[in-house]
């Protein structure tokens, strides 16, 4: 849900900081006060394309920030995880900066992102229902998802998509095998030779490191033996060895400690040094006893290293990469062996296709039942929304097998009796589109979790009792819904309206106004208390001249 929105130097807004609550909120105000600015700002924060004239007069840039709570929004959480963008404490910060010269920058949780990323994430956070704003219900994929969610077929739909992908991959392999049989046979022969050679070599990356180290040791065995003996001579064997010199120092310190106990610390350090020297001498003695010159073993290592370098040049990989090449070659051989066995590949493809068709047909049957039920329920809701005689239809048309199933899903609408049903995205009237969207959301709300919904022009062309019905439906939409985690998930409905019947039913009421400051027109939005709501509803009822009668009427509506 939307927690807060901050706007700086945007069109006629100098500075605006708004906090939003759960449930049903309305925005009202005089015509031209800037009610649509909220939707425009949110759309930009969610990745909409910016037009010219966004920055307030004489300002270099406009900045919009929106904070969302995504505790109940699993889709947004998964998107952030996939994009490696953290979200601390279940809150998400979106920020958009637009410059007067046309440049734009986007941020998610403080990290710079593309506007396309901002838009992808934004579509998981809220829906805006207006004629010009982005509207997910107009997209075929959303319409299909709405039907599947309503029918409880989301899991089966995902299974169908996965099975189609598995079948399609096998089908492409079959086509490739038929087309490239000779090429694959030649490749298989070469791979068999490669695998035979590398298997005989039996060299892992660790083996190569050990081989190099052993070769280095044997190549320098004479120097190691002579150098080790020289070290022992300096440590213990020579006339002026370290052990003899340190023993003399200890003898002197022992005598001096009798005069000053403070020298005892130096004595202890010296004893430790003598022990370390003795340990080093014993290690070198054992090392030299085991050391030997082995020309035959060195020659064998030389030969193996030359073989490794030769294969490295032949296959154009570093020596430590030969083992990985062996594994890759073995995997490719197994794949080509499947290509060569037409019967085995065809059998796998047929099994995959049968599994897909069985699931897809089950999905189709479920969609057909749900499409009829959804069409009836939404059509019934339309009758209460000044769309008498209007019909809603979930049209299913056969299509070639695909990841989405065996049919294309499309929402068709006839706004009035006697009018041919047309695709939802062809509905011309913004108000009509908003009311149809409202009907869809009311019917499907218990099946899905759209955390925040914003409606603009939902009440265009209606009034009286129909307006009150719209208000009650909007209030109903703002009630908590069951989440994927099994608890009640909070929801928001924000509505821009000019009808007092719609505004009076809201839990929260914001008023949009404008003023003149230093020769500039500025827009303001404020949350109204109860008395201020009475005045605003009275204004909406009676116009500029607010009387005691209109105030009383407003109080009755709010009650």
What is the spatial distance between Cα 184 and Cα 179, in angstroms, rounded to a whole number? 9
| 81 domain residue, yes or no | no
User: Do 269 and 189 share a structural domain?
Assistant: yes
365 versus 11: the higher-pLDDT residue is: 365
pLDDT in tens, 534-543: 999 998 888 6
User: Do 358 and 325 share a structural domain?
Assistant: no
Domain end, chosen from 338, 367, 395, is at 338
pLDDT at position 327 over 50: yes
**Beta strand pairing call for 405-414 and 91-99:** unpaired
pLDDT at position 485 over 60: no
User: Do 544 and 400 share a structural domain?
Assistant: no
Structural domain count, the chain: 3
pLDDT in tens, 379-433: 998 888 878 888 999 999 999 999 999 999 999 998 788 788 889 878 756 667 7
| 258 domain residue, yes or no | yes
- Domain range for 260 is 184-338
**Exposed / middle / buried, residue 106 (Cβ in 10 Å: 0-12, 13-18, 19+):** buried
| 280 domain residue, yes or no | yes
Predicted pLDDT at 142:
86
pLDDT in tens, 130-167: 655 446 678 888 899 889 989 989 899 999 999 999 99
Predicted pLDDT at 419:
82
Q: Dihedrals φ, ψ of 54, to 5°?
A: -75, -40
- At 375, is the pLDDT very low, low, confident or very high (cuts 50, 70, 90)? very high
pLDDT at position 202 over 50: yes
What is the spatial distance between Cα 139 and Cα 290, in angstroms, rounded to a whole number? 78
Predicted pLDDT at 482:
56
For residue 131, which of 68, 52, 194, 43 has the smallest C-alpha distance?
Answer: 43
DSSP per-residue codes, 454-486: EEESTTTT--HHHHHHHHHHHHHHTS-EE-TTS
User: Do 147 and 271 share a structural domain?
Assistant: no
User: Do 393 and 296 share a structural domain?
Assistant: no
User: Do 296 and 257 share a structural domain?
Assistant: yes
Residues 404, 405, 407, 409, CA torsion sign:
negative
User: Do 269 and 207 share a structural domain?
Assistant: yes
């Amino acid at each position: 849900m939307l927690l807060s929105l901050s706007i700086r130097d945007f069109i006629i807004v100098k500075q605006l900081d708004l906090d939003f609550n759960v449930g049903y909120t309305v925005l009202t105000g005089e015509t031209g006060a800037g009610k649509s600015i909220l939707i425009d700002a949110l759309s930009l924060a969610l990745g909409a394309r910016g037009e010219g004239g966004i920055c307030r007069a004489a300002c270099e840039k406009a900045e919009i920030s929106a904070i969302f709570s995504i505790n109940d929004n699993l889709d947004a959480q998964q998107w952030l995880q996939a994009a490696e963008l953290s979200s601390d404490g279940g809150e998400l910060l979106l920020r958009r900066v637009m410059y007067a010269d046309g440049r734009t920058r986007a941020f998610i949780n403080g990290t710079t992102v593309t506007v396309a990323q901002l838009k992808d994430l934004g579509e998981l956070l809220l829906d805006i229902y207006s004629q010009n704003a982005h509207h997910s219900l107009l997209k075929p994929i959303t319409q299909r998802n709405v039907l599947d969610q309503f029918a409880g077929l989301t899991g089966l739909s995902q299974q169908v998509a996965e099975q189609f992908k598995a079948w399609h991959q096998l089908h492409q392999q079959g086509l490739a095998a038929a087309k490239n049989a000779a090429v694959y046979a030649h490749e298989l022969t070469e791979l068999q030779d490669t695998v035979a050679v590398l298997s005989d070599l039996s060299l892992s990356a660790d083996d190569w490191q050990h081989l190099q180290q052993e070769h280095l040791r044997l190549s320098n065995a004479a120097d190691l033996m002579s150098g080790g003996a020289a070290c022992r001579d300096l440590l213990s064997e020579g006339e002026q060895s370290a052990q003899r010199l340190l023993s003399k120092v200890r003898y002197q310190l022992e005598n001096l400690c009798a005069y000053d106990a403070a020298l005892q610390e130096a004595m202890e350090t010296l004893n430790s040094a003598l022990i370390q020297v003795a340990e080093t001498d014993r290690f070198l003695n054992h090392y030299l006893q085991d050391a030997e010159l082995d020309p035959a073993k060195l020659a064998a290592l030389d030969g193996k290293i030359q073989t490794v370098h030769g294969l490295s040049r032949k296959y154009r990989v570093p020596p430590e990469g030969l083992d990985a090449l062996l594994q890759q070659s073995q995997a490719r051989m197994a794949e080509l062996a499947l290509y060569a066995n037409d019967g085995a590949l065809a059998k796998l493809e047929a099994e995959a296709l049968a599994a897909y068709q069985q699931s897809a047909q089950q999905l189709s049957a479920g969609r057909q039942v749900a499409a009829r039920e959804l069409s009836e329920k939404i059509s019934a809701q339309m009758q209460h929304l000044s769309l008498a005689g209007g019909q809603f239809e979930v049209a299913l048309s056969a299509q070639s097998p695909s990841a989405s199933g065996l049919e294309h899903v499309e929402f068709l609408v006839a706004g009035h009796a006697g009018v041919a049903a047309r695709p939802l995205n062809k509905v011309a009237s913004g108000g009509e589109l908003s009311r149809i969207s409202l009907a869809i959301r009311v019917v499907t709300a218990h099946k899905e979790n759209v955390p925040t919904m914003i409606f603009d022009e939902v009440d265009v062309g209606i009034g009286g009792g129909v307006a009150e019905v719209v208000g009650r439906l909007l209030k109903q939409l703002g009630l908590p819904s069951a989440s994927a985690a099994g608890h009640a998930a909070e929801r928001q409905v924000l509505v821009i309206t000019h009808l007092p019947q719609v505004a009076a039913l809201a839990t929260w009421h914001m008023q949009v106004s404008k003023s003149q400051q230093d020769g500039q027109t500025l827009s303001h939005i404020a949350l109204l208390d109860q008395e201020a709501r009475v005045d605003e509803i009275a204004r909406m009822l009676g116009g500029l001249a607010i009387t005691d009668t209109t105030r009383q009427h407003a109080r009755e509506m709010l009650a």
